[in-house]
Structure 1
Amino acid sequence: MLAFGRQILASQPFSQLLGAELTQLTADGACELRLPLRPALTQQYGFAHGGVVSYMADNALTYAGAVALRVPVITSEFKINYLRPAVGEGLIARSSCIHAGRSQAVTRCDVFAVQDGVEKLCATAQGTINVLPAPKA
């Protein structure tokens, strides 16, 4: 499962630009995505930019939904709560599936900032992941 997930991540140019790494993806949908923080990913106060934190949540939510639904998927919506500034050497997003039906899954994700080896919760998100419609002939 992890090798397949890494192949998907490698095919995403934006994920490659950011430097994201998929470190866990299990058959039950547990996902862990990591991202080293560098100055180019921060905002004017030195925190990880909210868009970067949001990317981590969105991608991790989608992985959890894809494993649950077992087909190509796309995020249809998600909500994120920023709890504290994301400061440190990196970010970790951990997600899981709350519920999966035939055409959509509801997933949740926590995003942690890592500083000096200590993880601090900086955001939490919930999303709806939908089955990607088949291309029209």
Structure 2
Amino acid sequence: MKIPKMDLMTRKAGMFNGAMIASLVDVSSGYAAVSHYEEDCYVVTVELKVNYLRPAIGDALVSKSYVIKGGAKISVIRTEIYTVDEYNISESHVATSLVTMMKIK
């Protein structure tokens, strides 16, 4: 997933706010979790841990999510967050996370 920078997403210094990064982690991890299941389902977050690696300075945030373990009810997802410049030339790894999702439908 990729989201462009908007003023409401940044701190005064111009970097993305940590809450935006955590929200992107949550949404991206949810999509990864539901992609693991064959039927149409709904998942909720059980646990979400984000490690912020460096200030998130860039024109957009990009998330890359991977299902580490997909069980019948519980899935564990790893999501990496990067900032990219306007032309997607420069990429900087700004956060890494581990998310547990539970299938409820």
Normalised to the residue count of structure 2, the TM-score between the two structures is: 0.90
Distance 1:84 1:69 in 2: 34
> Root-mean-square deviation (CA), in Å?
1.2
Q: Which position in structure 1 is the counterpart of 2:100?
A: 128
Partner of 1:90: 60
Does the CA contact (< 8 Å) of 1:69 and 1:105 recur in 2?
Answer: no
Q: Which has the higher contact order (CA 8 A, sep 6+)?
A: 2
* Contact 1:69–1:101 (CA under 8 A) maintained in structure 2: no
How far off its partner does 1:110 sit? 0.3
Q: Could you list the runs of 4 or more consecutive aligned residues of structure 1 that deviate by over 3 angstroms after TM superposition?
A: none
**Distance (whole Å) between structure 2 residues aligned to residue 83 and residue 115 of structure 1:** 18
1:115 aligns with 2:85: yes
2:11 is equivalent to residue 39 of structure 1:
no
Q: How does 1:1-137 map to 2 (within 5 A)?
A: 33-70=1-38, 71-116=41-86, 117-132=89-104
Mind listing any 5+ residue stretches in structure 2 that lack a counterpart? Answer: none
Q: Percent identity?
A: 29
2:83 maps to amino acid:
A
TM-score w.r.t. the length of structure 1 is 0.70
Q: Name the structure where helix makes up a greater proportion of residues.
A: 1
Q: In structure 2, how many angstroms separate the alpha carbons of the residues matched to 1:69 and 1:125?
A: 21
Q: In the alignment, residue 111 of structure 1 is paired with which amino acid? A: I
Q: How many residues were matched structurally?
A: 101
